[in-house]
Amino acid sequence: MSTKIPRVTLVGAGPGDVDLLTIKGAKALAAADLVLYDALINPALLDFVPADKPRIFVGKRSGKHEYPQEEINALIVKYALEYGHVVRLKGGDPFVFGRGYEEIQFAAQHGVATAVIPGISSAVAVPAAQNIPLTSRGVSESFWVITGATKYGQISSDIALAAQSSATVVILMGMKNLADITRVFQVLGKNTTPVAIIQNGTLPNERLVCGTIDTICQLAQEQNFTSPAIIVIGGVVDLRFDSTRKQEILQHVIHSPKPDANQ
C-alpha cells in the first residue's frame, strides 16, 4: 500500500479536441500517480501524464469487454489505496451523463478524498464548434440536454416534454433511437423543425448533417452517421453558417467602400 494519502480527482476531458481540456485538468493529469480513462477521451490527453505513471483503460469499446460501473468504482478505491493520487478521466463533463457523482460518492464512502475538475460538455461545445448557438434572441430562450437512451435502452420521457416547448433540444447518445426521437416530434406536428447531427464533434474527423424532423433519419442513414454524435433540434440549427461563408462576409465588410463622412 502506498504511503501517499489516497485521493481521486475526477477530471472532465472535454468534447474531444485536446486543446479544450482545461488548464486545471492538465495540471491534475501531470500530478497523477495513476490514471483511469474512458473510451471516448482523446488518447493524446494521456501525454499530460508522467511517462512512468500507469494509465489504465476502463471504458467500453464495441465488441470488447465492458467494465461494469460497480467494478470501476472498486478500482478507483483499490488504486487510490495502492498508488495515492488517482485521476479518473472522463469525456465531456463527468457530471453530465457521466456517472461521475456515483464514482466520487463511492470513493468518499471508502475513506478516499475526492475532488472534481469540470470539463467542457459536448452538449454545448459541439454545437458551438459548428456555429450553432443553443440560445438566440427571438429564436430560443432556453435549451434541454437529454439522454437519448435510458439505462433500459429506451428514449427518455423528458423528450416528449421538451418537444412541446420552443426550446432547443440537445440529445446525447441518441443515434440508436433516432427514429423514435423524431416520431415524438412528428406526433406534435413539428415535422419541419430543423435538426443537426454532429458526429465526432471538435475532432479532425468531425461530420455534420442537417435536415428536418421528417428527413434526418434518411439523411443520417444515407451518410452512415453513427455514435458518438450529438443531435440538436430546433430553429437555432438554421442560424448556422459555415466558416467559408463567414470568411466571404468578412471579406465583403473589409473591402466594402467606406461611407464618406462629409456626406
For the sheet with 207-212, list strands across it. Answer: 143-147, 168-172, 229-233, 194-199, 207-212
Rounded Cα distance, 121 and 123, in Å: 5
- Residue 60 annotated as catalytic: yes
Catalytic pick among 24, 60, 238, 242: 60
Catalytic pick among 27, 78, 158, 173: 173
- Residue 175 annotated as catalytic: no
- Residue 19 annotated as catalytic: no
Going by C-alpha positions, the residue among 11, 16, 8, 24 that lies closest to residue 44 is: 16
What kind and span of H or E run contains 106?
helix 100-109
Provide long-range contacts, Cβ within 8 A and 24+ apart, for 97-105: 97/147, 97/172, 97/173, 98/12, 99/69, 100/10, 100/12, 102/69, 102/73, 103/8, 103/10, 103/72, 103/73, 103/76, 104/8, 104/10
Which residues does the annotation mark as catalytic?
38, 60, 173
